[in-house]
Amino acid sequence: MTERWTGKHVWIVGASSGIGRALAVELAGQEAVLALSARRPDALETLNTQLGGGHRVVPLDVADGAAVRAAAQGLAAAWPRVDAVVFMAAVYRPGGLLAQSDADVGAAVAVNLGGALHLARAAIPLLRAQDGGGQLVLTASVAGYRGMPASQPYSATKAALIALAESLRIEHAGQGVDVRVINPGFVRTPLTDQNTFAMPGIIDAERAARIIARDLARPGFEVAFPRGFVLGMKALRALPGFLYRPLARAALRGASKTA
């Protein structure tokens, strides 16, 4: 599996913490050449130093479309090719729509969805133009499988990302762009550290990164984990609405009683 990433040029957007940071460590350990992007240059520099200092630090706000395009053009000029572009940036605040501020809702839309749209617009022409194409990887969530109560901004943007990835894969099939979607369950990160409820099947970010590195090296579309939790969520997705909605309401009532 090391051969899959040795010498490959991978741009990770959202590399400063969580799964993105763990993936950077994993791929660097497999001898990939990385570009590390996020809004916090100090965190990126610290990570680059930890990885030996041989990678590119590209501070970036994914909500700024012009900045994303400029970063993509800079990498295209600096690197011989771009083998994979991985969108890991995310904003999450616990609670439902009415419990969140305008700023919280706006950030979820601007980063989780808007950032992915900006990155796809910048990356797809780049990948199509180079010999052999490359991967565009969007990180959504199992929270996007169905309408999740008490988590509307996050769930809605992740559902949109799943639809975006699937539609782009269909549209650009055969044009050198291998579009993938990552749908994690609960992963221990600074985002999930905000939760006060039980998180079934939670895994650490390092394990998540190993799964992602392995599965992106295989044919397919969706990378989803942990397996047992994903299967349960997919079973819920398969339920007709008249069965799912009462179950979701009951789960919400149970959670509110234990909170």
- pLDDT tens digit sequence for 157-186: 999 999 999 999 999 999 999 999 999 998
Confidence of residue 64 (pLDDT cuts 50, 70, 90): very high
Helix (H) or strand (E) holding 73: helix 65-78
Task: Please name each of the domains of the chain with its CATH number.
Answer: 2-258 (3.40.50.720)
Name the one residue in this structure whose structure tokens are 């579009």.
179
DSSP-derived letter for residue 144 is: G
Spatial separation of the C-alpha atoms in residues 22 and 206, rounded to whole Å: 5
* Number of residues that this document lists for the chain: 259
Confidence of residue 254 (pLDDT cuts 50, 70, 90): low
Identify whether the C-beta of residue 143 lies closer than 8 Å to the C-beta of residue 151: yes
pLDDT digits (tens, 9 = 90+) for 124-159: 999 999 999 999 999 999 999 998 888 899 999 999
Spatial separation of the C-alpha atoms in residues 202 and 224, rounded to whole Å: 13
Residue 167's pLDDT is 98
Among 37-46, 120-129, 195-204, the least confident range: 195-204
Spatial separation of the C-alpha atoms in residues 116 and 163, rounded to whole Å: 12
- Which residues contact residue 146 at a Cβ distance below 8 angstroms, ignoring those fewer than 6 apart? 233, 236, 237, 244, 248
- Which residues contact residue 226 at a Cβ distance below 8 angstroms, ignoring those fewer than 6 apart? 185, 201, 203
3-state secondary structure of 93: coil
| More confident call, 258 vs 177 | 177
DSSP-derived letter for residue 109 is: I
Confidence of residue 89 (pLDDT cuts 50, 70, 90): very high
pLDDT digits (tens, 9 = 90+) for 96-105: 899 999 999 9
Provide the sign of the torsion angle of the four alpha carbons 107, 112, 113, 119, taken in this order.
positive
pLDDT over 50 (residue 2): no
Name the one residue in this structure whose structure tokens are 């990302």.
161
Bridge partners (DSSP) of residue 204 are 188
What are the catalytic residues? 154
Q: For residues 7-23, give the mean pLDDT.
A: 97
Residue 219's pLDDT is 95
The chain-wide mean pLDDT, for the chain, equals 93
